[in-house]
Amino acid sequence: MTQFRAAASTGTGAVPNIDAAVDQLRAGYEQPELVPGQSYEVRTMSAPVFGPDGRVVLQFTLYRFPYRSNGAQIEVYSKRLLEAARAATKAVGTRPLS
* Total tally of structural domains belonging to the chain: 2
Both 7 and 41 in one domain: the answer is: no
Q: pTM to 2 decimals?
A: 0.63
* pLDDT over 90 percentage in the chain: 31
Q: Are residues 18 and 41 in the same domain?
A: no
Q: pLDDT tens digits for 26-68? A: 666 666 688 888 888 888 899 999 988 888 999 999 998 888 8
Helical (H) or strand (E) element with 53: none
- Same-domain pairing of 57 and 86: yes
* Res. 8: pLDDT tops 50: no
* Average pLDDT value over all residues in the chain: 77
CA distance 18 to 63: 28
How high is the pLDDT of residue 94? 62
* E runs forming strands in the chain: 39-40, 44-50, 56-63, 69-70
Q: What is the CA radius of gyration of the chain?
A: 18
45 shares a domain with 23: no
Whether residue 89 sits in one domain with residue 66: yes
The domain in which residue 68 lies consists of 35-98
